[in-house]
């Protein structure tokens, strides 16, 4: 259970001098043991008797005071329990193993001898030196023996009596310097028994001949280093350390910047060297070379002795992306990825803390990386939804990045071809400095987008087909010349739902009020919200009619129809059904890049950031998915998705075209996306936001009240509604009303939306509601509060 408030504990004598703010401790709580983070160490006696701390988990704080302050800001701003916020900010338990080993230096030996002659036995310094006379010892062993070891060791080290080594680096070179190890296949084993890990690594290496950087491999093959080690022992591959390139000079020659890139770079450079907080919005069309600007800005940051943090959307952190940065910055790069296991994350975390890695690339939670002397945070694709955490604490990584940078005197660069309305609005108001890259690299043309009106297509062909004749022709054209096609179908599964032709019944999930999606490969219907699965019935569950109908199209069906329409073409699919691990994602993408496939069909996964020069045709199979959703961001999201998808075409030397199939050709999101006209879209959308008092013109929170029984959910949301009635000045409350998905995972849901002209007022209101919920002793999960919601569904 996440706890909301701070508690006071007493420190047993052995811990008194070792516990610092930011360390994790184990404490008794009721009849249980909990892990907590120390916020403050003081000697004011509390009013109630305090219990003793049981155990200290970290000898050194895992959270610096600044990060604790950031956590407190998050807890307050997003109305989330501080305990839960801090837990999300620290690496997983047991991660920071202090792998330090102490050895006596020569002067230490001398000192030991002299000291030992007449010193008191209970002096810990003497005890430690005496122990170390026999052999080197680890810090953890010494601290177990001597309560004050940490402090004493520090002072002995300062006096030159001790040498410290990192035991992990000693014992396990593979881990410590994973970024610099290359592995190479010696021979392909034709037979033999291999463990699952080993087989997976072998399969990958077979598909990707050549030498590999181990850190990159770890991004896609589970337990790559373990497997690599055991395979090396079996003589199947070799692992060698790469020569260190040192801190000087780039490893891969950078592109020389074009004038727009140069101008943007200079502004960022001036910001970074000034050492003052500042936020830039780098708005560059797709293919304008934003990454190169990032890399130059990072170089500049390192040059002034500060660290840089690059945040990327979850799906975009591929080895191809990481590889570019390894090539440029070598072993100064650390990667933080949710696909890493505890030990790998701990290792990266350690390299960041010690300052060994001054360039950190991470997804959302990477914003908490303990980068030394942080000078620059880059948020790539800042509009991406994956920056918003969809569970408590519901923080936005981009916004936390800005708050953190402000506290550390760092600069922020938000990069995107399609900035969020909020960011662009902040740039218009001068809060951020706008930097523009209006052209593609080498003046390559933007792709030409053509709208295909599927209503006309139907009238002319009298067929409800997935592909228009135009799209079919265009694909044939690519196949003939060996160019590649990407097809966006932003819904997975085979058909979107199953209905009865006789009575109209749609088959719904038993836990949620949503229809089940048919997945043909598994011959099952699946709930995309809770994963409930069911076999397809042979008759309607309501009227027993046998006329069951499959309605709507998903990526699985698109793939199948491509096979039927183009029997000899090689088709790959990328969606959450084909990608169950990191590895498959990159494998499919890499094979497509290497032209093992002619076509790639997929969900929004294929729209993000990929740079594949041979793609000259992008087909958007159905631009309308998502347009009708009851969500004020529906248009923005559609515009961004379509623009980004279109931007995959013609990135290389060959020009590209985009065919956009829709039945809403006049919708402004579709129209402006087809023109790749961000300014036009922004102008229209900002009017709507202003008129409706949606963000950025209000501070907004979405409240969802949940309960197993409908009457409970209804009653509770009614009580909250009363509390908000009448609404305070300049606050608007919508609801309570049934949520867009009224039943989810077996809970009934009611929704309230609060829009407030003042952020402070909103925050006060939310705190009132939380107090009310606590006073009434509602379940802690009964009220979900989402501040700055990214979706209302
Ligand atoms: P964006 O992220 O803006 O869509 P990228 O950063 O992926 O664009 O850059 C597109 C391509 O242009 C990449 O292959 C990159 O290596 C190349 N590139 C970037 N800057 C230059 C430059 N100044 N000259 C030539 N090529 C460049
Ligand atoms: Zn029926
Ligand atoms: Zn469900």
623-649, pLDDT tens digit by residue? 999 887 888 999 999 999 999 999 999
- Overall average pLDDT of the 496-522 stretch: 88
Collect all residues with Cβ–Cβ distance below 8 Å to 775 and sequence separation of at least 6: none
- The candidate with the shortest Cα–Cα distance to 382, out of 319, 455, 328, 434, is 434
Least distant ligand from the CA of 499:
2
pLDDT of residue 135: 64
Cβ count within 10 A of residue 282:
30
Best residue among 257, 261, 285, 291 to mutate for probing ligand 1's pocket (most ligand atoms within 8 Å of CB) is 291
What is the model's pLDDT at position 190? 60
The mean pLDDT of the chain is 86
166 three-state secondary structure: strand
Could you identify the atom of ligand 1 that is nearest to the CA of residue 647?
Answer: 4
Residues with Cβ within 8 Å of 526's Cβ and at least 6 positions away in sequence, in order, are 493, 516, 517, 518, 519, 532, 533
What is the whole-number distance in angstroms between the Cα of residue 415 and the centre of ligand 1?
14
Full strand arrangement of the beta sheet holding 333-336: 333-336, 359-362, 307-311, 374-379, 411-416, 278-284, 433-437
Nearest residue (by CA) to ligand 1, atom 14, is 611
pLDDT band of 96, cuts 50, 70, 90: very low
Contact (Cβ atoms closer than 8 angstroms) between residue 619 and residue 659: yes
Residues with CB under 5 A from ligand 2 (ion): 500, 502-503, 505, 540, 542-543, 545
**What residues flank ligand 1, with Cβ below 6 Å?**
255, 257-258, 261, 284, 286-292, 441-442, 611
| CA-nearest residue, atom 12 of ligand 1 | 289
Q: Name every residue whose Cβ is closer than 8 Å to that of residue 734 and which is 6 or more positions away in sequence.
A: 752, 753, 754, 755
For 188, counting Cβ atoms within 10 Å of its Cβ (0-12 exposed, 13-18 middle, 19+ buried), the class is exposed
Which ligand has the minimum distance to the alpha carbon of residue 541? 2
292 Cα: distance to centroid of ligand 1 (angstroms):
6
**Average pLDDT over every residue of 267-288:** 96
Is it the case that residue 468 has pLDDT exceeding 50? yes
List alpha helices for 59-104, DSSP H: 65-77, 82-89
- In contact, 661 and 468? CB cutoff 8 Å: yes
Q: At what angle do helices 319-329 and 290-303 cross, to 10 degrees?
A: 40
The arithmetic mean of pLDDT across residues 223-245, rounded, is 73
**Exposure of 504 by Cβ count < 10 A (0-12 exposed, 13-18 middle, 19+ buried)?**
exposed
Q: What is the pLDDT of residue 94?
A: 39
Our measurement of the distance from residue 638's CA atom to the centroid of its chain's CA atoms, rounded to an integer in Å, reads 21
Who contacts 776 (Cβ-Cβ below 8 Å, separation ≥6)? 719
Distance 288 CA to ligand 1 centre (A): 6
Tokens of 58: 């970290």
From ligand 1's centre to the CA of 261, what distance in Å? 10
pLDDT score for 116:
58
| Spatial contact of 239 and 182, defined as CB atoms under 8 Å apart | yes
> How far, in Å, is the centroid of ligand 2 from the Cα of 505?
5
| Per-residue pLDDT, 412 | 98
pLDDT for 18 equals: 83
Higher per-residue confidence, 118 vs 18: 18
Pairing of strands 411-416, 747-756: unpaired
Cis peptide before 736 (omega within 30 of 0): yes
- Confidence label for 436 from pLDDT (cuts 50, 70 and 90): very high
- Report pLDDT digits (tens) over 178-190: 344 667 666 666 6
Query: Count of alpha carbons within 13 Å of 342, Cβ hemisphere only?
Result: 8
Kindly report the backbone phi and psi dihedral angles of residue 491, in degrees, each rounded to the nearest multiple of 5, phi listed first: -155, 130
- Report the alpha-carbon distance of residue 527 to residue 537 in Å, rounded: 15
* pLDDT at residue 581, as a whole number: 62
Contact 271, 281 (CB under 8 A): no
- Centre of ligand 2 to C-alpha 507, Å, is 10
Is the per-residue pLDDT at 118 higher than 80? no
Q: Which atom of ligand 1 is nearest to the CA of 611?
A: 7
* Ligand 1 atom, smallest distance to 258 CA: 23
pLDDT digits (tens, 9 = 90+) for 766-790: 999 999 999 999 988 899 999 999 9
Closest CA to 444 of 656, 188, 229, 713: 656
Q: What is the pLDDT of residue 166?
A: 63
For residue 767 the two structure tokens come to 């705190």
Q: Does residue 393 have a cis peptide bond before it, meaning omega lies within 30 degrees of 0?
A: yes
Per-residue pLDDT at 290: 95
Could you give the residue ranges of the DSSP H alpha helices within 704-751?
A: 710-723
Query: What integer pLDDT is reported at residue 230 of this predicted model?
Result: 84
What are 323-339's pLDDT values in tens digits? Answer: 889 889 988 999 887 66
Helix (H, G, I), strand (E, B) or coil at 393: coil
Separation between Cα atoms, residue 648 and residue 669, nearest integer Å? 18
What spacing in Å lies between the alpha carbon of 304 and ligand 1's midpoint?
25
Residue 243 confidence (pLDDT) above 60: no
- Partnered with residue 436 across adjacent β-strands are 283
Burial of 507 (0-12, 13-18, 19+ CB in 10 A): buried
What pLDDT is stored for residue 566 in this prediction?
Answer: 96
Report the DSSP beta bridge partners of residue 425: none
Write down the pLDDT at residue 577: 83
User: CA end-to-end span of the chain, whole Å?
Assistant: 25
Q: Whose CA is nearest to atom 5 of ligand 1?
A: 289
Separation of alpha carbons 645 and 673, rounded Å:
10
Q: How confident is the model at residue 167 (pLDDT cuts 50, 70, 90)?
A: very low
pLDDT bin (cut points 50, 70, 90) of residue 140 is confident
The Å distance, Cα 528 to ligand 3 centre, comes to: 7
pLDDT > 90 in the chain, percent: 51
- Please give the distance, rounded to the nearest whole angstrom, from the Cα atom of residue 94 to the centre of ligand 1: 41
**pLDDT at 181 (0 to 100):** 60
Q: Which ligand is nearest to the CA of 516?
A: 3
pLDDT tens-digit map of 60-81: 888 889 999 999 999 999 999 9
Task: Name the more confident of 251 and 662.
Answer: 662
**Mean pLDDT value of segment 124-130:** 81
Q: Which of 710, 708, 686 is nearest to 696 (CA)?
A: 686
Alpha-carbon distance 318 to 610, whole Å? Answer: 9
Whether the predicted model's global pTM rises above the 0.85 cut: no
CA-CA distance, 782 to 747, in Å (whole number)? Answer: 10
Nearest ligand to the CA of 288 is 1
Instruction: Using most ligand atoms within 8 A of CB, pick from 263, 282, 292, 446 the residue to mutate for ligand 1.
Output: 292
Taking the CA of residue 257 as reference, the ligand 1 atom at the shortest distance is: 23
Distance in angstroms (rounded) separating the CA atoms of residues 423 and 301:
23
Are the beta carbons of 548 and 502 closer than 8 angstroms? Answer: no
Nearest ligand by distance to the CA of 517: 3
Q: What is the pLDDT of residues 550-607, one digit of tens each?
A: 888 999 999 999 999 999 999 999 988 887 666 678 788 889 999 999 999 999 988 8
Q: How many Cα atoms are found within 13 Å in the side-chain-facing hemisphere of 210?
A: 5
Residue 639 or residue 240, greater confidence = 639
* pLDDT score of 3: 60
Which pLDDT does position 771 carry in this prediction?
92
Report residue 181 as tokens. 């190890």
d(CA 254, CA 723): 59
Report, as an integer, the average pLDDT of 490-502. Answer: 89
- pLDDT number for residue 117: 59
What is the residue with the minimal CA distance to atom 2 of ligand 1? Answer: 290
- Residue 495 is given by DSSP the state B
Assigned token pair, 574 = 């990328």
From the CA of 507, the nearest ligand is 2
Give the mean model confidence (pLDDT) for residues 672-679: 96
Across 207-218, average pLDDT: 71
């Amino acid at each position: 259970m996440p706890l909301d408030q701070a508690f006071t504990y007493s420190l047993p004598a052995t811990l008194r001098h070792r516990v610092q703010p930011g360390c994790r401790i184990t404490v008794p709580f009721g009849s249980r043991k909990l892990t907590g983070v120390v916020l403050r160490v003081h000697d004011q006696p509390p009013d109630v008797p305090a219990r003793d701390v049981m155990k200290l988990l970290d000898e050194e704080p895992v959270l610096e005071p600044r990060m604790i302050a950031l956590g407190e800001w998050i807890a307050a701003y997003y109305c989330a329990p501080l305990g839960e916020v801090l837990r999300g900010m620290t690496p997983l338990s047991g991660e920071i193993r202090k792998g330090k080993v102490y050895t006596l230096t020569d002067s230490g030996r001398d000192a030991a001898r002299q000291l030992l002659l007449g010193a008191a036995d209970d002096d810990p310094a003497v005890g430690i030196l005496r122990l170390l006379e026999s052999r080197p010892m680890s810090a953890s062993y010494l601290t177990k023996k001597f309560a004050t070891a940490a402090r004493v060791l520090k002072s002995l080290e300062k006096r030159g009596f001790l040498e410290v080594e990192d035991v992990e680096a000693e014992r396990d070179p593979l881990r410590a310097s994973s970024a610099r190890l290359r592995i190479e296949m010696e021979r392909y084993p034709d037979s033999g028994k291999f463990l699952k890990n080993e087989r997976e690594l072998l399969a990958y290496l077979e598909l990707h001949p050549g030498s590999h950087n181990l850190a990159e491999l770890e991004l896609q093959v589970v337990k790559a280093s373990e497997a690599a080690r055991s395979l090396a022992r079996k003589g199947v591959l070799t692992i060698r350390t790469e020569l260190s390139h040192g801190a000087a000079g780039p490893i891969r020659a950078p592109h020389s910047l074009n004038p727009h890139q140069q101008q943007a770079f200079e502004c960022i450079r001036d910001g970074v060297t000034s050492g003052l907080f500042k936020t830039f919005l780098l708005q560059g069309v797709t293919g304008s070379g934003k990454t190169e600007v990032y890399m130059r800005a990072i170089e500049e940051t390192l040059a002034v002795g500060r660290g840089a943090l690059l945040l990327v959307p979850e799906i975009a952190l591929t080895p191809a992306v990481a590889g570019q940065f390894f090539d440029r910055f070598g072993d100064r790069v650390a990667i933080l990825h949710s696909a890493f296991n505890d030990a790998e994350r701990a290792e990266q975390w350690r390299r960041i803390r010690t300052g060994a890695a001054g360039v950190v690339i991470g997804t959302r939670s990477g914003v908490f990386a303990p980068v030394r002397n942080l000078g620059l945070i880059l948020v790539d694709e800042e509009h991406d939804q994956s920056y918003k955490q969809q569970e408590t604490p519901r923080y936005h990584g981009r916004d936390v990045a800005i708050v953190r940078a402000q506290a550390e005197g760092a600069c922020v660069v938000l990069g995107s071809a399609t900035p969020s309305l909020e960011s662009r609005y902040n740039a218009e108001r001068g809060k951020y400095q706008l930097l523009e890259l209006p052209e593609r690299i080498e003046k390559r043309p933007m792709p030409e987008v053509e709208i295909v009106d599927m209503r006309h297509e139907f009238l002319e062909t009298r067929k409800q087909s997935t592909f228009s004749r135009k799209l079919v022709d265009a694909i044939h054209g690519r196949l003939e010349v060996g160019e590649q096609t990407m097809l966006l179908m932003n819904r997975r599964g085979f058909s979107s739902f199953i209905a009865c032709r006789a009575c109209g019944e749609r088959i719904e999930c038993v836990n949620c009020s949503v229809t089940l999606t048919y997945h043909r490969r598994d011959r099952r219907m699946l709930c995309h919200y809770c994963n409930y699965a069911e076999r397809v019935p042979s008759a309607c569950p309501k009227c027993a009619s046998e006329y069951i109908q499959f309605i709507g199209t998903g990526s699985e069906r698109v793939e199948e129809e491509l096979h039927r329409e183009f029997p000899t073409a090689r088709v790959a699919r990328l969606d959450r059904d084909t990608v169950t691990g990191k590895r498959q994602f990159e494998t499919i993408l890499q094979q497509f890049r290497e032209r093992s496939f002619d076509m790639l069909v997929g969900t929004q996964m294929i729209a993000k950031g990929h740079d594949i020069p041979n793609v000259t045709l992008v087909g958007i199979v159905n631009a309308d998915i998502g347009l009708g959703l009851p969500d004020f961001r529906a248009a923005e999201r559609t515009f961004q998705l379509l623009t980004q998808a279109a931007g995959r075409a013609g990135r290389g030397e060959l020009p590209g075209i985009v065919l956009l199939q829709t039945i809403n050709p006049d919708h402004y999101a579709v129209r402006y996306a087809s023109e790749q006209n961000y300014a036009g879209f922004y102008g229209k959308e900002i009017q709507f936001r202003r008129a409706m008092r949606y963000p950025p013109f209000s501070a907004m929170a979405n409240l969802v009240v949940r309960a197993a029984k409908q009457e409970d959910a209804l009653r509770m949301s009614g009580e909250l509604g009363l509390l908000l009635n009448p609404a305070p000045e300049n606050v608007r409350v919508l609801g309570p009303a049934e949520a867009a998905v009224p039943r989810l995972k077996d809970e009934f849901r009611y929704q309230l939306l609060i829009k407030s002209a003042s952020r402070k007022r909103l925050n006060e209101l939310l705190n009132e509601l939380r107090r009310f919920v606590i006073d009434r002793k509602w379940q802690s999960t009964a009220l979900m509060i989402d501040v700055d919601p990214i979706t209302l569904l």
